[in-house]
């Protein structure tokens, strides 16, 4: 029986994208909290549900302004003899509270943020960020997990797993060479790795055997020679049998 395929993370999470999207959603929840309270104040409706808020955000600016004015007139039971509600809200006689302008500002900011969020292609419904117990919006653990998955890439096959593992090992080697100051970390200096490592690798071009370290890698070429000891290695100058026996 084949083992179940386990996806492997490719590289690391895109921290820049994660922070950008997280910041947009965080700003959205903050403005949403203010937006809800401002509308409730304008409409004099402290129990206005969040389901209504979601529908309100879908309105265009003109319709939203009319909605606020109509709700203000109704909620505060304002009337002027000879004028119906529609004529009243289109007149200059309404004394709208400061929260009216604040609500308009929050509506504009929320829509700006929503447009920016749409560009990221990461969609997480605002309704799922509402916590009824505290009557507030906040970024949940589920949101954080979904965003983490969105900004991370995973393999889709065992063969991809093998390739990623090889690349990881290669990166480990390059990082070790940088740590030993054999390669420079800045720029594209690491791309010279193969040229430099050729000095330390033993290869028979006519053989199919695997590559291996050159046994004399510390005896020549400054790159590796500087890691050698001060003691000169033993190099016999004769093949005398007596010397060998002794």
Q: What is the pLDDT of residue 244?
A: 47
Cα three-residue angle 104-119-146, rounded to 5 degrees = 100
Q: What is the pLDDT of residue 228?
A: 67
State the pTM of this model: 0.73
User: Is the CB of residue 70 less than 8 Å from the CB of residue 56?
Assistant: no
**DSSP secondary-structure letter at 44?**
T
Q: Residue 227 CB: number of other CB atoms within 10 A? A: 10
Question: What's the pLDDT band for 147 if we cut at 50, 70, 90?
Answer: very high
Phi and psi at 80, nearest 5°, equal -130, 125
Is it the case that residue 233 has pLDDT exceeding 60?
no
Both structure tokens of 153: 């890439």
Q: Which H/E stretch holds residue 20?
A: helix 15-43
Is it the case that residue 217 has pLDDT exceeding 80?
no
Tens of pLDDT along 46-103?
888 877 778 888 889 999 999 999 888 888 888 777 667 777 777 777 888 888 999 9
Both structure tokens of 118: 């749409």
Rounded-to-integer distance, Cα 110 and Cα 28, Å: 6
Rounded-to-integer distance, Cα 28 and Cα 53, Å: 13
The residues with which 201 forms a beta bridge, in sequence order, are 213
Which long-range contacts (C-beta less than 8 Å, at least 24 apart) are formed by 202-208?
A: none
Q: Residue 163 CB: number of other CB atoms within 10 A? A: 14
Both structure tokens of 85: 């509600």
- For residue 106, give every residue at least 6 positions away whose Cβ sits within 8 Å of its Cβ, in sequence order, or none: 31, 34, 35, 38
- Could you give the percent of the chain with pLDDT greater than 90? 35
Mean pLDDT of 197-226: 76
């Amino acid at each position: 029986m084949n083992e179940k395929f386990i996806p492997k993370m490719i590289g690391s999470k895109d921290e820049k994208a994660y922070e950008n999207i997280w910041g947009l959603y965080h700003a959205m929840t903050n403005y949403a909290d203010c937006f809800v309270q401002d509308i409730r104040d304008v409409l004099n409706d402290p129990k206005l549900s969040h389901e209504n808020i979601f529908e309100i955000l879908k309105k265009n600016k003109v319709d939203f302004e009319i909605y606020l004015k109509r709700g203000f007139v109704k909620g505060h039971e304002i009337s002027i003899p000879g004028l119906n509600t529609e004529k009243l809200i289109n007149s200059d006689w309404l004394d709208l509270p400061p929260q009216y302008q604040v609500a308009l500002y929050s509506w504009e900011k929320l829509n700006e943020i929503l447009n920016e969020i749409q560009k990221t292609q990461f969609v997480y419904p605002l309704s799922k960020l509402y916590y009824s117990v505290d009557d507030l919006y906040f970024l949940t653990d589920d949101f954080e997990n979904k965003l983490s998955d969105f900004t991370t890439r995973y393999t889709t096959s065992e063969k991809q797993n093998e390739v990623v593992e090889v690349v990881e090992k290669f990166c480990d080697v390059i990082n070790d060479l940088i740590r030993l100051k054999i390669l420079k970390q800045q720029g594209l200096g690491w791309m010279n790795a193969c040229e430099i490592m050729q000095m330390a690798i033993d290869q028979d071009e006519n053989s199919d055997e695997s590559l291996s370290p050159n046994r004399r890698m510390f005896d020549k070429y400054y790159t590796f020679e500087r890691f050698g000891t001060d003691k000169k290695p033993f190099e016999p100058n004769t093949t005398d049998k007596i010397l060998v026996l002794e």
